[in-house]
Amino acid sequence: MFGGNSIQLGRIFGIRIGVDISWFFVLFLFIWSLSGWYQDLFPRDDTKAFSLAVVSTLLFFLSILLHELGHAVVAIRNGIPILGIDLWMFGGVAKLGRDTDSPGVEFRVAAAGPLVTLVIAAICFGAGSMLSSSDTLLEGSRFQTADLSGTVAVLGYLTTVNVFVLAFNLIPGFPLDGGRIARAVAWKLTGDRNRATRFAARLGRLAGWGMVAFGGMILLDLFSWDPFTGIWLIFIGFFLASAARSAEAEAEFSDRIDHLRVSDVMDAEPVAIPERLPLDRAEGEFFLRYGWPWFPVVDETGHLVGVVSHEAVSSVPETARGGRPIASVMARDDGGGGLRAGLEDPLEALLSHESLGRLGAVMAVDGDGVLRGIVTVDAVRRALRGALPA
């Protein structure tokens, strides 16, 4: 859903940070809305009100980014690659390269984001209290008329909005953080990840439709709330219910392919190039013979050491190919999972595998790292089609 068309802003700790086009709409919407609120606090200074609105909005999204970085850092520390972080209409999302493999890891990754948000709220409240009184800070966070400085007003807003983000994310409904925590607990109790996912997803659907209902009541003026809040809750509720239903369907499908392993779908007779083979021989004996754009590369004992493309071989002048081995132009495998998968890895783990998207195949290796097969996109598709109900 995210990341394919996002605009890259930069990298933090090597993690790609991007924004979806919908983020710009929300950015300006927040600035416009906060400008009006700050004008109530500083009615004689429109420039100050607008400046504080811009600063508050940017700091709010920085808080969201730090929340997602909390998830990402803990995931990386637990051996889960991160494809990137995207900011979008409803906040942010840290895209995991694969799903968690235990209830403990699921809990730690899910809890990291809310913990970061709690720390941010506490820091903002503490700093605001030091610059004023806590009562004045809370008045500013509710945008009531008070004798406030701009700094205290911003800190009051950041305190309130981060407390809201914390409370919202801890709603026990998948795919919110609270739902992932609920899934971790259910997974620990049942020992079945897919069953736990279905349970948490049902909670997510219930929470989503609850938000839609509450937003509708706000629009019917049953509460003294801003109608904009009701509209926003309805949008978020619909998204949450839809995402939870998709997660439930994925869990049901995962049950059907749960018995399949990499070894069940791989080509058990892989063609690989020895790393010491000269480039000129590789050109004729492999690329021209088979017509494939790339080949895995193995050492003399059959261990996977990398992958080489025809483009890399062709980039070397013909006169120099006789004295250069394949190892000099191959993309080396670092053993971290970028090219390979274990024979007993579940088929489901391949669906988001980096190599499957980049090369169209994954190298299947045994416990010692010896190349035993290749799993192609077509092989995965055939296996998935076979798992669909008739």
pLDDT digit of tens for each residue in the chain (390 aa)?
Answer: 444 568 888 888 888 899 989 889 889 988 998 888 888 878 877 888 899 999 999 999 999 999 999 999 999 999 888 888 999 887 888 888 778 889 999 999 999 999 999 999 999 988 888 877 655 555 545 444 445 678 888 998 999 999 999 999 999 988 899 999 999 999 999 998 889 999 999 999 999 999 999 999 988 888 777 787 788 889 889 989 998 998 888 888 777 777 788 999 999 999 999 999 999 999 999 999 999 999 999 999 999 999 999 999 999 998 889 889 999 999 998 766 678 888 988 887 777 777 887 888 999 999 899 999 999 988 888 888 876 665
Sheet holding 294-298, edge to edge: 273-274, 294-298, 304-309, 331-332
Q: According to CATH, what is the number of the domain 262-387?
A: 3.10.580.10
- The answer to whether the Cα torsion of 251, 259, 71, 191 is positive or negative is positive
DSSP string covering 304-372, please?
EEEEEEHHHHHTS-GGGGGG-BGGGTSEE--SSSSSEEETTSBGGGGTT-HHHHHTSEEEEE-TT-BEE
Domain ranges of the chain: 7-257, 262-387
Are 382 and 278 in contact by the 8 Å Cβ rule? The answer is no
Q: Which residue has the tokens 């942010």?
A: 92
Q: Which helix (H) or strand (E) holds 17?
A: strand 15-19
In angstroms, the CA 118 to CA 112 distance is 10
> So what's the pLDDT on residue 3?
42
Q: Which helix (H) or strand (E) holds 16?
A: strand 15-19
Are 201 and 244 in contact by the 8 Å Cβ rule? The answer is yes
> So what's the pLDDT on residue 96?
86
Decide: pTM greater than 0.85: no
Q: Which helix (H) or strand (E) holds 166?
A: helix 150-169
